[in-house]
Amino acid sequence: TRIGCPKEIKPQEFRVGLTPAAAAEALLRGHEVLVETGAGLGSGFTDEDYQAAGAGIAPDAATVFGTSDLIVKVKEPQAPERQMLRQGQVLFTYLHLAPDPDQTRDLLASGVTAIAYETVTDARGGLPLLAPMSEVAGRLAPQVGSWALQKANGGRGVLLGGVPGVRPANVVIIGGGVVGTAAARVAVGMGANVTVMDRSVPRLSYLDDVFMGRLTTQFSSASATAERIQTADMVIGAVLIPGAAAPKLVSRDQLSTMPQGAVLVDVAIDQGGCFETSRPTTHQDPVYEVDGVVHYCVANMPGAVARTSTQALGNATLPFLLALADKGWRRAVSDDPHLRAGLSTHEGRLTSLPVGEALAIEAISPDQL
Ligand code: PYR
């Protein structure tokens, strides 16, 4: 199979779909690998690194799209990339089709077989190709929040871990899933006084066990949240309802009950955000203030640490990429129902029922192909 990896063209996207190490694995199995020149630079991988692994370097995206059987990327294909897709080709990347009718129409028109990272499942009910980016964003959240707590950045001038004789900061994490657990790990490590809130008692029980008393768990309800934020130096929004808009957990009116200079970090901003006053920001201009509360709402947090994110994503995608290359997509998805769950378009048919429902387009289940 000829595997192609173009350079990402979405603004501020520094990740790349294939690492030199992953390219080497594919080459070992007898596949060909073609990488667009400069594709890895944002993540610290040079063309020479790919060449040393045995990959070919293409001068432009048109060559990669024009000659590859299997395209591996990070972000959903942008309009110019969609023009280059064709029937008989497989696209493996994040798609996020439900809120994106234009992209969906173009993928269907191209005839490409598109497999979405974010809907690939695992045997434990998780999303193994979304989880690594949730881990990254979760671990970053206390780090960026502690930066925002510094006076020069608008915060109330509180050191997360305190010092001997002075209390540490109160960090409230709403949501105890992948993001919230990763955030808790770092916040606890930085010495903060951490509370994790969730609506699942089994999940709180798990967190209580693994953190061995180093954080407080609290059942999440509207009144519990209202109370907790009054003494919070930092609140991390870490909720996900797969595919749906995030619920609003802190209202605009509630901001005035928080300490002046407290910080909100909204990791759910990609799904619309979980604080009423959240709006997407960028790495260039990450924070703004409403009623004295600093908001950090960067929509692509993992991009700040592209090198780590690229490797984490690549580790997770590699086994699926190799299965697609070794067996061909049809046998790969037929053998593995979890990979099949990612199948989104094929030869002009939409094969995702949730996307069909969101966009009012006729769809079939991937199981029916
Ligand atoms: C991202 O990491 O950019 C996703 O789309 C999940």
Q: pLDDT of 343-365, one tens digit each?
A: 999 999 999 998 998 899 999 99
SS3 readout for 289-309: EECCEEEECECCHHHHHHHHH
pLDDT value for 270: 76
pLDDT tens-digit readout, 166-198: 999 999 999 999 999 999 999 999 999 999 999
In the beta sheet, which residues pair with residue 173? 196, 236
**Mean pLDDT in residue range 146-168:** 98
**Above 60 in pLDDT, residue 150?**
yes
State residue 15 phi and psi, 5-degree precision: -80, 170
**Above 80 in pLDDT, residue 243?**
no
**Above 80 in pLDDT, residue 138?**
yes
Which ligand 1 atom is the nearest neighbour of the CA of 13? 3
Ligand 1 mean position, distance from CA 260 (Å): 32
Ligand 1 mean position, distance from CA 75 (Å): 7
Ligand 1 mean position, distance from CA 157 (Å): 32
Do the beta carbons of residue 65 and residue 6 sit within 8 Å? yes
**Above 80 in pLDDT, residue 232?**
yes
> What rounded mean pLDDT belongs to the chain?
96
State residue 38 phi and psi, 5-degree precision: 80, 0
Q: Could you tell me if the CB of 169 is within 6 A of ligand 1? A: no
Helix (H) or strand (E) holding 36: strand 32-36
The one catalytic residue among 49, 96, 208, 326: 96
Q: Could you tell me if the CB of 94 is within 6 A of ligand 1? A: yes
pLDDT value for 299: 87
Neighbours of 333 (CB within 10 A): 26
Neighbours of 131 (CB within 10 A): 17
In the beta sheet, which residues pair with residue 298? 281
**Mean pLDDT in residue range 50-75:** 98
Measure the CA–CA gap between 282 and 274, rounded to whole angstroms.
17
Which ligand 1 atom is the nearest neighbour of the CA of 76? 5
Both tokens assigned to 116: 């979405």
pLDDT tens-digit readout, 289-314: 999 999 999 988 998 999 999 999 99
Atom 5 of ligand 1, residue of closest alpha carbon = 94
Banded model confidence at residue 320, pLDDT cuts 50, 70, 90: very high
Banded model confidence at residue 22, pLDDT cuts 50, 70, 90: very high
pLDDT value for 245: 67
Best residue among 75, 129, 136, 301 to mutate for probing ligand 1, ranked by most atoms within 8 Å of CB: 75
Q: ipTM score of the complex?
A: 0.95
**Above 80 in pLDDT, residue 241?**
no
Best residue among 92, 130, 271 to mutate for probing ligand 1, ranked by most atoms within 8 Å of CB: 130
> CA 203, 206, 211: angle at the middle one, nearest 5?
125
31 is catalytic: no
Banded model confidence at residue 330, pLDDT cuts 50, 70, 90: very high
Which ligand 1 atom is the nearest neighbour of the CA of 309? 2
**Above 90 in pLDDT, residue 322?**
yes
Q: Could you tell me if the CB of 302 is within 6 A of ligand 1? A: yes
Over pLDDT 70: what percentage of the chain? 99
Q: Could you tell me if the CB of 317 is within 6 A of ligand 1? A: no
The one catalytic residue among 270, 283, 326, 338: 270
Ligand 1 mean position, distance from CA 316 (Å): 13
Measure the CA–CA gap between 344 and 247, rounded to whole angstroms.
26
Nearest Cα residue to 39 out of 24, 21, 17: 17
- Cα torsion at 112, 113, 119, 122 (round to 10°)? -160
346 is catalytic: no
**Domains of the chain with CATH codes:** 2-120+306-368 (3.40.50.720), 131-299 (3.40.50.720)
**Above 80 in pLDDT, residue 271?**
no
- 32, amino acid identity: E
Best residue among 94, 179, 309 to mutate for probing ligand 1, ranked by most atoms within 8 Å of CB: 94
pLDDT value for 37: 98
pLDDT value for 29: 97
Atom 2 of ligand 1, residue of closest alpha carbon = 133
pLDDT value for 272: 80
In angstroms, how far is CA 318 from the centroid of its own chain? Answer: 17
Do the beta carbons of residue 224 and residue 255 sit within 8 Å? no
Q: Could you tell me if the CB of 310 is within 6 A of ligand 1? A: no
Measure the CA–CA gap between 309 and 328, rounded to whole angstroms.
27
Q: Which residues contact 172 (CB under 8 A, 6 or more apart)?
A: 195, 197, 228, 229, 232, 234, 235, 236
CA distances from 4 to 217, 243, 356 (A): 46, 29, 29
Helix (H) or strand (E) holding 170: strand 170-174
**Mean pLDDT in residue range 77-83:** 97
Do the beta carbons of residue 78 and residue 8 sit within 8 Å? no
Atom 4 of ligand 1, residue of closest alpha carbon = 94
**Above 90 in pLDDT, residue 246?**
no
**Above 90 in pLDDT, residue 146?**
yes
Helix (H) or strand (E) holding 70: strand 70-72
Side-chain-side CA neighbours of 102 within 13 Å: the count stands at: 8
**Above 90 in pLDDT, residue 242?**
no
Measure the CA–CA gap between 313 and 304, rounded to whole angstroms.
14
State residue 46 phi and psi, 5-degree precision: -90, 165
